Every structure is written in C-alpha cells, then in structure tokens.
Amino acid sequence: MAAPILLLDGIRLTFGATPLLTGASLQVEAGDRICLVGRNGSGKSTLLKVAAGLIEPDGGERFVHPGATLRYLPQEPDLSGFATVGAFVEAGLAPGDDRRRVGFLLGRLGLDPATSTATLSGGEARRAALARTLAPEPDILLLDEPTNHLDLPAIEWLEAELAAMRSAIVLVSHDRRFLSALSRRTVWLDRGRSRTLDKGFAAFEEWRDELLAEEEASAHRLDRRIAREQDWIVHGVTARRRRNMRRVRELQALRRERAEARKAAGQVRLAAEATLSGKLVARLDGVTKAFADRAVVRDFSTIVHRGDRIGIVGPNGAGKTTLINLITGRLAPDAGEVRLGANLDILVIDQQRAALDPAMTLREALSQGGGDHVEVGGARRHVMGYMQDFLFSPEQAGTPVAALSGGERGRLMLARGLSRPSNLLVLDEPTNDLDLETLDLLQEFLADYAGTVLLVSHDRDFLDRVCTAIFASDGDGTWREYAGGYSDMVAQKGSGVAARQVRQPALTREAASHPRSTGPAAPRKLSFNQKHALATLPGEMKAIEAEIGRLRAELSDPDLYRREPARFGELAAKLAETEAALARKEEEWLELEILRESIEG
C-alpha cells in the first residue's frame, strides 16, 4: 500500500453537549478518488475542515505529507479583500502555476474576471471559489458540494475536468451520478464514526443496507438475551432463594449497552394531501415570451395532463422559471395561447427558501405561527410529532430558522409545503442540500403523489428516477419535449444540455491585447510549446469530433437501451466526457490564436 499524503486517525470533536465525531478516520493516497457520504449533520463538512487544517479536533491525529499541496472548497466562500473575481482566483496560484487556467476555468463557469466581487450572488461566489480551488491543480482537492449552483452543462464539464486531473480528490456531494462517475473509494460517516468501502459510490447503498441489516439483527439478538435474563431473575431467584449477582450485573450491563447505543437516525416520512384537478392541467399553443430583445420561449406547444412528472432542464439563464410561470398561468405570453385546466391548486417550493422568516423558530415556521398543531393530509398533527417526521429533534423546536443548516432549511421547506393540499406541485431545485436518504424518500413521495409535478433540477439521477417527460432548452428560446427521464433525452437528442453562449471572459479575450498594468507584460513571441499546440490542436479537435459523431451514431440506435442498458450508460457517459474534452481543446486553441494575433498585430 502506498504511503498516505493525508491521514486523519481517530478524530474526535464535540460541539455543545453532543459528540459529532467520535472516531472518524480518513486516508488519502496520491491519485485517490474518495467520496465522503453521510446524512446531513453527520459531520462531513466538519471532517473536511479538519482535513484542511481549519478546525482543531478534540482528539486524534492529522498528518499531511511534507510538501504536499492541498486546496479546500468551502460551501460558503469568503471573497472579502478582493476587488474582482480574477484577482480572487489568481491569489490562489503559487509560483510556477499556469495562469492561463484562471481564464479557462472562469470562462467554463460563466464568470467574467473583471466582475466586482461585491456584486456576486451566492452561486457566483461559489463558482469563483471553485475556479480558485481547481486552478493550481494541487496534490489533494477537498470539495464540499462542488455542484451546488452549477447548471447541467457546468456539472458535466466539471465531472470530466476532475476525472482528467491528477490530484487526489475527497468529495462531498448529493449528486449520485457525479459521485458514481468520480469515486473509487467510499467513506461513510455514521453516528460519529467512519466506515470505509474500497469501491465507488455505485456500490455504497447496497453495502450500507447490508451493514444496517446486520446491526438490526444484532440489536434483536441483544433484546432477546435481555428478555431471557429478565425471565431468569423473576422466576429463577424464587426457586433458589438467592440472587446470582453476577448475572444481575450482566443484565444491568446489557441494559446500559442497549440504552447507550447510538441508533441509526430514523427516516423522513413524507405525506401530503392531493386534491383532484381536471384531466387537462395546461395546454400551450405557439407560446412565445421575450424580455427586451431576447426570446426566452419561442413558439412552444405542449399539453400537460394530470399525473405527469415533467422535468425542465437547461443552462442557467435559459428561462426555466419563465417557462414554469407560463405553464402555471402566472405569466402571460407575448404570443400564443395558454389554457389552464379546472380546479388547479398550485404549490411552489423554490430553491431560495424565500418563504422562511429567519427570525421565526422551527416550531413557528412549521405551525405557521398557529400554535401547537398543523394540518397534514387532512389530519390534525401535533407540531412536535410532525417535526420529528423530518428528522428534527424536540430540542430544536426553539431554534431560529437563521441558525439551521442548508439541508435543514430544505427539509423545513418540504415539511411546510407538503402539509398543504395541492394538485400541481412546482419544485425549483428541491434537491439542493438534501442528503441521499431524504432524496430517496422525496422520490418515493413524488411517485405516489396523486397530482402533477413540474420539476426544475440539475440532478441527472433524480430526473431519471422521477420524470415521465423532459422539457429541454435548445437555446435561443427553443424548447423541445422528450419522453422519459434525462438519460432518455440524451439518447433521443444525442447529447446533453448545451451550455449557454456568454461573452468571453476578459482574461482570455482581452488580456492578450490589453494586459493589466499590475500583471506581467504580454509575451513578444510564442514559445515552442505554444507553436506546437497551435499546429496540432486542429487535428486533435477533428479526431475528437469524429469520435463524438461515432458515439452519437451508436446512441441513435432506438433498440440499444432495451438491448444493452449498461452499454447505453457507458456510451452516454463517454459522449459527455468527449464533448467536454473537445470544449477544452477549443478553449485552448482560441486563447493561443488570440495571443498569436495580438503578437503579430
């Protein structure tokens, strides 16, 4: 076994009165691909911070190989002290790092290096932090939810980019497909301790279920042993007129073991009442909507029936929310007609958690300020019991919403929303910050929901599990309908969601001809490697385009998915990876061509 470049052993950490980590370990070797999984609140982010050296544990050992470089992506990055996005990302580079990666990464993440950090949204700040983390290509990458706030094209690009990097990666994510594609080892944080599976995430859930089944069987055997000992004490002592104190002490020890065992957390229980809508939910005929001179929806027609589960996908800025507002009648079209069905009762759960008052307590938010009870599915429930259905403890009842984690706020929004009757459920990025178990239960709830679902999501696996149809943006306001989930759309279309065209970032297009006064002067001639790349890149791009054509041709076989589902999945993943490789080559060639023109001009 190779020597580790990062080692955490027996990490213990307590916040307040409850131990969070009671013996967590993590070993990272060169080139490792590790996913760190566990429920919200299990300590995944905390363990990453310990690994990054940002938190000092109460006990245990942390070792980093001398000279090893490490970069950490936090969930809430701090850009203070930097005037522009470019300055923030460049500050993460070390001497000798390739500065061209700054422009390349920001361009792929849809950011302009000249943008002021003061104007960034939370999602833009996270993308800037992701670029800063990846730019140096360190020995170890610690990534905490890197796909949050990324659209589908960016997620698929990031997946291919990380797969091509030499860095060891420790990854926390709720995106199953992302985890399955990148991981080769799985570390499960469960009740304060870590367990390791020497396989990727694809094998994790079956392994976890087997461990939990063994644990449940062991607990059952312990209960039966306690029952036998109790029976002996009650009935055997009278016969002997003398207690066997050794057996009494053993029973007391067994009871303590049972009482002190940290049982696995329960599961979220989702239940909602769906009223009955008409068979027709919405009909759109030739609908068009534009803002200023940009068409967001152009001549789109469709029919939404009761019971449909429709996923709406596209890059950020494609108009997904606008399309939902047209379908639900909250926005009038510029042209065309929208006809809504009868008796629609619409419930919207959005990703911004906008309906949550941060000053409210958890109890007040669930009961809508209405006391100790809440109406759920037509039945009156005590708010404390309903709160525990969503994995909130009674001690959290007085906790302000502002103090809840992102995952807890997501569960709270689900709890509030699903307590109300509806027959048209609109979910805008519901998977953000939810743990895998909660995602499973949300999926099961949507499968059993008697109404209609409109779902905006960048989670490919969740779309595959839930949707009966996909509305996908093809750019320039064009939307097309595909039967099935996201993978079915890729098979029919021949590709995934394309990135939206944006203005080329300043560092890749402008810096060559107008170098910043604070940076080094532009080179006066191309290096040998740059000349060689300019000469060879067109041939490489042509070869990649031929491979893309071959993959698309094979995927176009309508019987492939039925005949060889595993082969279909491999080809779809290979196509996404190859398209991302072509985009990288094109970006590199463009930068070099601009540099050549600036030198010769």
For residues 292 and 424, the answer to whether their CB atoms sit within 8 Å is no
Helix or strand (DSSP H, E) at 48: helix 44-52
Domain 280-493 in the same topology as domain 6-206: yes
pLDDT at 13 over 80: yes
Instruction: Return the bridge partners of 59, or none.
Output: 12
- AA identity, residue 543: A
Q: What is the mean pLDDT of residues 480-508?
A: 72
CATH number for the domain whose boundaries are 512-600: 1.10.287
pLDDT in tens, 441-456: 788 888 888 889 999 9
Task: Establish how many alpha carbons lie within 13 A of residue 387's alpha carbon, considering only the half-sphere containing its beta carbon.
Answer: 21
CATH number for the domain whose boundaries are 280-493: 3.40.50.300
The answer for residues whose C-beta is within 8 angstroms of residue 175's C-beta and 6 or more apart is 147, 155, 459, 460, 461
Pairing mode, if any, of strands 424-428 and 452-456?
parallel
Instruction: Return the bridge partners of 12, or none.
Output: 22, 59
Higher-pLDDT residue of 419, 62: 62
Q: What is the pLDDT of residue 521?
A: 41
pLDDT in tens, 258-280: 555 444 555 555 555 556 677 89
Most confident of 235-239, 404-408, 505-509: 404-408
- CA distances (Å), 353 to each of 220, 366, 433, 458, in order? 41, 13, 12, 17
Closest CA to 174 of 155, 154, 160: 155
pLDDT in tens, 153-195: 889 989 999 999 999 999 999 899 999 999 999 999 988 899 9
Least confident of 97-111, 169-183, 193-207: 97-111
Entry pTM: 0.68
Catalogue the E-assigned strands of 409-450: 424-428
Q: What is the pLDDT of residue 256?
A: 60
Locate the domains of the chain by residue range: 6-206, 209-260, 280-493, 512-600
Q: What is the mean pLDDT of the chain?
A: 81
In the block, tokens 């016969």 appear at 239
Measure the CA–CA gap between 153 and 443, rounded to whole angstroms: 23
Q: What is the pLDDT of residue 601?
A: 53
Q: What are phi and psi of 84, to 5 degrees?
A: -130, 165
Closest CA to 147 of 413, 390, 347, 432: 432
Q: What is the pLDDT of residue 107?
A: 87
pLDDT in tens, 334-361: 999 999 998 888 888 765 555 667 778 8
The answer for residues whose C-beta is within 8 angstroms of residue 202's C-beta and 6 or more apart is 180
Q: What is the C-alpha radius of gyration for the chain, rounded to an integer number of angstroms?
A: 27
Q: What is the pLDDT of residue 240?
A: 46
Task: Note the Cα 577 to chain centre separation in Å.
Answer: 19
For residues 416 and 366, the answer to whether their CB atoms sit within 8 Å is yes
In the block, tokens 């998977």 appear at 431
Which one of 3.40.50.2300, 3.90.550.10, 3.40.50.300, 3.40.190.10 gives the CATH number of domain 6-206? 3.40.50.300
Higher-pLDDT residue of 274, 380: 380
Q: What is the pLDDT of residue 76?
A: 83
